[in-house]
């Protein structure tokens, strides 16, 4: 399933050759973190990826608290940088409710390639909006 989701996303850009490396990176993150969700955010899911200018933005949501030393990681996928942001589910929800642009963009425009956290976050965002009305 992971490969199929990645293939769909990469097919919309000039990054199809990144599939093996991106899949390997994500499988490593799944093994390392046992996440609730992995979301590809930024330019790639919006079909705005530009080779040589864009990076890969990856949001990893985990059930446990995250130490500062593991919050951000930078990896290479071929000739493209992958910026990995790791948040606990609670932190991500609080950031979402506070209007954090990265988290909002990941939830609204990103592609969840692993897990089902995004749907729960969208419900929470909608409920928060309705409560403010």
Q: Which domains does the chain have, with CATH numbers?
A: 2-132 (3.30.460.10)
Whole-prediction pTM: 0.90
Nearest to 56 by CA among 95, 89, 15: 15
Alpha carbons 42 and 19: distance in angstroms, whole number: 17
pLDDT band at 17 (very low <50, low <70, confident <90, very high): very high
Q: What is the sign, positive or negative, of the torsion defined by CA atoms of 26, 31, 35, 37?
A: positive
pLDDT in tens, 113-131: 999 888 888 887 777 666 6
Average pLDDT of every residue of the chain? 90
Q: Are 49 and 15 in contact (CB under 8 A)?
A: yes
For the segment 42-66, the average pLDDT, to the nearest whole number, is: 93
């Amino acid at each position: 399933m992971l490969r199929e989701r990645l293939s769909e996303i990469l097919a919309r850009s000039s990054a199809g050759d990144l599939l093996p490396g991106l899949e390997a990176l994500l499988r490593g993150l799944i093994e390392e973190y046992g996440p609730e969700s992995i979301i590809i955010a930024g330019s790639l899911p919006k079909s705005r990826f530009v080779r040589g200018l864009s990076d890969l933005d990856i949001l990893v949501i985990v059930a446990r608290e995250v130490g500062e030393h593991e919050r951000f990681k930078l990896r290479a996928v071929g000739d493209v940088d992958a910026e990995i942001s790791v948040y606990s589910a609670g932190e991500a929800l609080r950031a979402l409710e506070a209007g954090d642009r990265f988290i909002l963009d990941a939830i609204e425009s990103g592609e969840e390639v692993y897990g089902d956290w995004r749907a729960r976050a969208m419900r929470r965002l909608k409920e928060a909006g309705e409560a403010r009305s």
